[in-house]
């Protein structure tokens, strides 16, 4: 009996993984709706954005708040922000855009959202690696300059993953219930832009403002990533458990809504329509 | 065999809870093709979705010891900005099929020609249906659920489907909805009629049609 249960669980997990893989590849193809370029656009677009921003800040001669390299300081702030923003925005439409696929019993909300969140993470990772290689190749910035404390950096990035996955999951579930959510969340980028410590470290803020900024889990996460990534920068103003808890809570609420929808009686979309 | 044990389904609407399927016990046995008859919105598609496992019943259980396709409809399951080939690739992946073999089969069956490599958005509904059936014929299900998919195809395509199903009659059955009695007579031998949430099974198509006509007349009178 237990073996039967085990093999059933194993099969369910296997099917789920296969489905996520298939959805991931499909999502990569439709990411920009530009048929000819496909996934390349997903990489080129943030790179262009980064290029423009870097040029502007290079020209006005801004120095990094900490560390020697403006690029590293900038990247450790902007890439987590891009990732969270993309998770929120792309999550909001995940279910509504893929509703027809849910005609296949294998494809459920969980698989769709997980595939999306994974694709965003992989895309961000590729962009970071490309920038690292570019800086190494053209400016001679050693690759190891990006990493000061490897173990801690892994923890901080894993937390970022968790935070973004949780945000994507919750966003998708809210978006499945309220169609207006996609519009609400599209301004999140601007909000995050000023409250996430992109241009400053938490230590540089006046205490009262800092207490406010500390409410933003991304700000704490970015501070943590910089602490682990920029040599000579130590910060004790962040609490690693805050973004972790935040991510877990988002994920749990998202999974709860997913479960409510799945047991059928509470298909909220039908309730609202 | 597919067995529905005391299943119930209702949807919440603005005007309160609307029962779609009232408590139903029903079994679909191997060897019979079944038509699902009912008015628009009677719950035909819901019944198919419950059987496919895409939706869960509020109460009761759906027991299956056969492999069941997803409901094959006019639009479901394809995304418009991908080509037929790309959509097929996705389906191959989730069902674990050999890509080259399946592609060759579906191209041949669907007779889409160059359109096979065009975005689905450019397809007519008949072309979509041909692709859909090509794809599902490539997968060996024991029960095919067909939701109105056949009514859009032209007669030569319908004949082709009929032949394909006849060829696999010994291993596969069909449960289908359609508004066209002639399509139903081409494919099915038994029927269920859904009326006001009650699912009434019939062993004989004539009796089912008679009952369905009564339902239609009742609706026209009210």
B78 lies within 8 A of chain A by CB: yes
Q: Which residues of A touch B53 (CB under 8 A)?
A: 105
Nearest to A98 by CA among B143, B131, B81, B46: B81
Q: Which two tokens stand for residue B139?
A: 């997968």
- Identify from A265, A266, A271, A273 which residue to disrupt to test chain B contact, counting B C-beta atoms within 10 A and taking the largest count: A265
Structural fold of domain B1-69+145-154+172-222: Rossmann fold (3.40.50)
In this complex, do B119 and A19 lie within 8 Å of one another by their Cβ atoms?
no
* Sequence spans of domains, chain B: 1-69+145-154+172-222
The distance of B76 to chain A (nearest Cα, Å) reads 5
* Residues forming a β-bridge with B36: B177, B192
Task: For the sheet with B2-13, list strands across it.
Answer: B16-28, B2-13, B59-64
pLDDT above 60 for B219: yes
User: Helix (H, G, I), strand (E, B), or coil: what is residue A266?
Assistant: coil
Measure the CA–CA gap between A21 and A24, rounded to whole angstroms.
5
As a whole number, mean pLDDT of residues B205-212 equals 90
**Per-residue pLDDT tens over the stretch B26-46:** 999 888 889 999 888 888 888
- Which residue in the block uniquely carries the two structure tokens 């990006």? A146
pTM passes above 0.90? no
Better-scored residue on pLDDT, B124 or A156: A156
Task: Give me the residues of chain A with pLDDT under 70, please.
Answer: 1-4, 32-38, 61, 264-273
- Identify from A264, A272, A273 which residue to disrupt to test chain B contact, counting B C-beta atoms within 10 A and taking the largest count: A264
Interface confidence, given as ipTM, is 0.79
**Per-residue pLDDT tens over the stretch B151-194:** 667 778 888 888 888 888 788 888 988 888 888 888 888 999 99
Nearest to B188 by CA among B207, B199, B173, B171: B173
Q: A109-139 and A39-59 helices cross at what angle (nearest 10)? A: 50
Query: With a CB-CB cutoff of 8 Å, which residues 13-52 of chain A face chain B?
Result: 18-19, 21-23, 25-26, 29-30, 33, 35
pLDDT at A268: 44
pLDDT at A269: 47
Measure the CA–CA gap between B178 and B147, rounded to whole angstroms.
7
Task: For the sheet with B198-202, list strands across it.
Answer: B143-147, B173-177, B34-38, B190-195, B198-202
**Per-residue pLDDT tens over the stretch B50-79:** 998 888 888 888 998 888 888 877 666 777
The average confidence (pLDDT) of chain B is 86
Share of chain B above pLDDT 90, in %: 15
**C-alpha separations of A230 from A145, A233, A267 in Å:** 7, 6, 47
């Amino acid at each position: 009996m237990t073996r039967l249960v085990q093999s059933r669980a194993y099969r369910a997990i296997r099917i789920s993984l296969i489905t996520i893989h298939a959805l991931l590849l499909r999502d990569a193809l439709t990411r920009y709706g530009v048929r000819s370029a496909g996934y390349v656009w997903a990489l080129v677009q943030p790179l262009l954005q980064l290029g423009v921003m870097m040029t502007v800040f290079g020209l006005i001669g801004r120095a990094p708040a900490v560390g020697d390299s403006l690029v590293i300081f900038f990247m450790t702030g902007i890439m987590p922000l891009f990732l969270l923003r993309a998770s929120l925005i792309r999550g909001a439409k995940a279910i509504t855009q893929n509703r027809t696929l849910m005609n296949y019993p294998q494809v459920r909300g969980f698989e769709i959202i997980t595939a999306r969140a994974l694709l965003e993470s992989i895309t961000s990772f590729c962009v970071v690696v490309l920038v690292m290689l570019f800086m190494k190749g053209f400016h001679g910035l050693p690759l190891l300059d990006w990493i000061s404390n490897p173990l801690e950096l892994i923890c901080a990035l894993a937390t970022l993953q968790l935070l973004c996955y949780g945000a994507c999951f919750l966003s998708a579930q809210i978006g499945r219930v309220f169609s207006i959510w996609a519009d609400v969340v599209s301004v999140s980028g601007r909000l995050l832009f000023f409250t996430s410590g992109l241009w400053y470290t938490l230590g540089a803020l006046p205490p009262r403002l800092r207490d406010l900024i500390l409410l933003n889990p991304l700000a704490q996460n970015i501070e943590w990533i910089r602490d682990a990534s920029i040599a000579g920068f130590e910060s004790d103003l962040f609490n690693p458990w805050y973004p972790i808890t935040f991510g877990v809570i988002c994920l749990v609420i998202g999974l709860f809504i997913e479960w409510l929808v799945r047991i059928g009686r509470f298909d909220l979309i039908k309730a609202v329509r | 065999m597919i067995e529905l044990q005391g299943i119930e389904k209702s949807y919440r609407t603005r005007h309160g809870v609307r029962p779609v399927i009232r408590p139903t016990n029903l079994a679909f046995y191997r060897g019979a093709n079944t038509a699902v008859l009912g008015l628009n919105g009677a719950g035909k598609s819901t019944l198919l979705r419950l059987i496919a496992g895409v939706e869960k019943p509020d109460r009761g259980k759906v027991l299956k010891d056969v492999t069941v396709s997803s409901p094959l409809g006019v639009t479901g399951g394809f995304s418009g900005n991908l080509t037929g080939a790309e959509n097929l690739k996705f389906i191959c992946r989730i069902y674990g099929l050999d890509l080259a073999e399946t592609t060759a089969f579906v191209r041949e069956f669907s007779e889409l020609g160059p359109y096979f490599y065009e975005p689905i958005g450019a397809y007519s509904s008949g072309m979509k249906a041909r692709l859909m059936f090509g794809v599902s014929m490539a997968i060996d299900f024991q029960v095919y659920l067909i939701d109105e998919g056949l009514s859009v195809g032209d007669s030569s395509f319908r004949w082709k489907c009929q032949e394909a199903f006849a060829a696999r009659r010994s291993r596969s059955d069909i449960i289908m909805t359609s508004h066209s009695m002639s399509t139903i007579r081409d494919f099915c031998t038994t029927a269920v009629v859904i009326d006001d949430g009650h699912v009434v099974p019939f062993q004989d198509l004539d009796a089912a049609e008679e009952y369905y006509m009564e339902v239609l007349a009742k609706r026209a009178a009210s």
